[in-house]
Amino acid sequence: MVHSFAKPSLIVLALFLCFVPSFCVSTKGAVLSSLSSYLITMANVNAFNTITLIHELISNTSDTNLKQIYASCSMDYNDALLSITYVKDSFNSGNFNGMNSNAAIVVKDIEHCGLKAPDSTPLLKYNQPLEDVTNIIMILADYLAGKY
């Protein structure tokens, strides 16, 4: 299973270039929209792949406590995946405030799983990148809504 995210440096570069007035005065909205769409897709793929990982972890452990923790994380990620769908729907309809609030729910669900999971689980290394991308989506939603 491959959990791929764009290199953070590329995302930062794209954001930086977009806010340099001489670079994209007329294309700022298009750049933000393209980047938002790309990151929403990345978040969706990551959440789906993480659910698959969680199911593998449940199958491969005999520890009933860990099975319960992973089952709970599976519910958190199912909720996150649903919220990512709402993020995408909000984005597509131009409801950028809804995009932001649904992305905040994704972060909450991911954090909820992270608080329960033991430090030794491979699951934790997938929580942070998804949380980071979702936080960037929230920032982009605010820019698209004209808050900055």
Measured between alpha carbons, how far is 11 from 50 in angstroms, rounded to an integer?
Answer: 22
Q: What is the pLDDT of residues 55-86, one digit of tens each?
A: 999 999 999 999 999 999 999 999 999 999 99
- Domains in the chain, start-ordered, CATH in brackets? 26-144 (1.20.140.40)
Q: DSSP string covering 48-73, please?
A: HHHHHHHHHHHHH---HHHHHHHHHH
Identify the band that residue 44 occupies on the pLDDT scale cut at 50, 70 and 90. Answer: very high
- Mean pLDDT, residues 92-121: 94
pTM value is 0.82
Measured between alpha carbons, how far is 129 from 124 in angstroms, rounded to an integer?
Answer: 10
Whole-number average pLDDT of the chain: 84
Identify the band that residue 3 occupies on the pLDDT scale cut at 50, 70 and 90. Answer: very low
Is the pLDDT at 147 greater than 90? The verdict is no
Count of alpha carbons within 13 angstroms of residue 90, beta-carbon side: 25
Helix, strand, coil: what percent of the chain each, to 5? 80, 0, 20
Identify the band that residue 22 occupies on the pLDDT scale cut at 50, 70 and 90. Answer: very low
